[in-house]
Every structure is written in structure tokens, then in C-alpha cells.
């Protein structure tokens, strides 16, 4: 490997191997699974030049190490009647932040809850049917959570990129 690290193409980007504990074949497997997580072991084996058994062992090891967390599908929210993506920046009393985050995380319309660098800030993503559902979420749910200090919302107009992981 060179001083600058070997670059291995994965699904959509290049990752320096020196920055990971994955080898070139692991990276190829991840890149293929990023495009189609249902790719059979036999097809993976042909694509990376290993036996089906070796590929299965590598995938199992990647799962065991937590590199692959799960195999899943993504369904655009509009196909389940929730076409309106909304982003919230919520401020809470610091000692009540964690309880608020857990309560918000349990809401069925919320898909992401992050604690941000602000000592009392949560960044939240949700999908809603319409503006009325957003209003109910803000006025009847969030505003009643103990310790809420501020609520800001933004509506997504257009998505240009939505990769969720660097290696998937």
C-alpha cells in the first residue's frame, strides 16, 4: 500500500483503506451490497473472486464486527402517505434533554433524532401527511414535552443527495 493509501471504489465513492480496518475485498463486498443488499453470495463471490463460502464468512464477520448493522429496504415516505419531510431544531432545558429525545424518538412520524453540539439542542427529521399533521406534532406533542425552550421547523423542497452512511 502506498503512503497515501490505496483507494478502492465502493458503491458511490472512494474510501482510503488506511482509514479503515477493512481490506480491499471487504470494501468491494460492501460496495456491491450498497447497490443491492439482496445480492446472492454466489454472485458476490464471482464479483470479488472468492468462493461462495469465503464470501459468506466475510459477510458474517462484517456483521459480527458491526460494520454491517442490518440488511433493509428504504421506502420513500410518499409511498406510505407521508409526503412532507420536515426538519426541526428543538431546544430543551439541559437536564431534560435526554428524556425529551427519548419521547420524541418514540413518535411514529419521526425517523431521526440527533443531539447536536449545542448543549441543549436536538435535530429531528420527520415525515408527515400534510401541514395539519405538522401543526399537531408541534402544538400538541413537542410543546407539551417538559423543558422545551424553542422550536424551529424547516420544510424540504428538493433532495439532491441523501446518503446515510459513508461506506454503504
Q: Which residues, in sequence order, are bridge partners of residue 31?
A: none
Judged against a pLDDT cut of 60, whether residue 6 lies above it is answered with no
Domains and CATH numbers, the chain: 7-64 (1.10.10.10), 77-155 (3.30.70.920)
15 neighbors 7 (Cβ within 8 angstroms): yes
Residues 6+ away with beta carbon under 8 Å from 24: 6, 8, 17
Judged against a pLDDT cut of 80, whether residue 8 lies above it is answered with no
Judged against a pLDDT cut of 90, whether residue 168 lies above it is answered with no
Please report which confidence band the pLDDT of residue 78 belongs to, taking 50, 70 and 90 as the band edges.
confident
pLDDT tens-digit series, residues 37-70: 999 999 999 999 999 999 999 999 999 999 999 9
pLDDT recorded at residue 9: 42
**Whole-structure pTM value:** 0.70
30 or 6, which is more confident:
30
Grid coordinates of 120: 441543549
pLDDT recorded at residue 72: 85
Of 66, 43, 45, the closest CA to residue 54 belongs to 45
pLDDT tens-digit series, residues 119-133: 789 999 999 999 999
Please report which confidence band the pLDDT of residue 14 belongs to, taking 50, 70 and 90 as the band edges.
low
Judged against a pLDDT cut of 60, whether residue 111 lies above it is answered with yes
pLDDT recorded at residue 62: 95
Distance CA 39, CA 60 (A): 14
Amino acid at each position: 500500500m502506498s503512503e497515501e493509501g490505496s483507494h478502492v471504489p465502493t458503491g458511490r465513492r472512494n474510501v482510503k483503506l488506511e482509514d479503515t480496518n477493512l481490506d480491499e475485498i471487504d470494501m468491494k463486498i460492501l460496495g456491491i451490497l450498497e447497490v443491492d443488499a439482496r445480492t446472492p453470495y454466489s454472485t458476490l463471490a464471482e464479483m470479488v473472486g472468492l468462493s461462495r463460502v469465503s464470501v459468506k464468512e466475510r459477510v458474517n464477520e462484517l456483521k459480527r464486527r458491526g460494520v454491517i448493522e442490518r440488511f433493509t429496504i428504504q421506502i420513500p415516505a410518499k409511498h406510505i402517505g407521508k409526503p412532507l419531510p420536515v426538519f426541526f431544531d428543538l431546544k430543551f432545558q439541559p437536564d431534560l434533554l435526554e428524556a425529551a429525545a427519548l419521547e420524541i424518538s418514540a413518535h411514529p412520524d419521526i425517523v431521526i433524532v440527533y443531539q447536536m453540539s449545542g448543549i441543549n439542542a436536538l435535530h429531528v427529521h420527520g415525515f408527515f401527511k400534510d401541514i395539519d399533521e405538522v401543526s399537531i406534532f408541534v402544538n400538541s406533542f413537542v410543546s407539551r414535552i417538559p423543558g422545551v425552550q424553542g422550536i424551529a421547523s424547516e420544510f424540504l423542497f428538493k433532495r439532491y443527495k441523501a446518503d446515510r452512511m459513508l461506506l454503504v
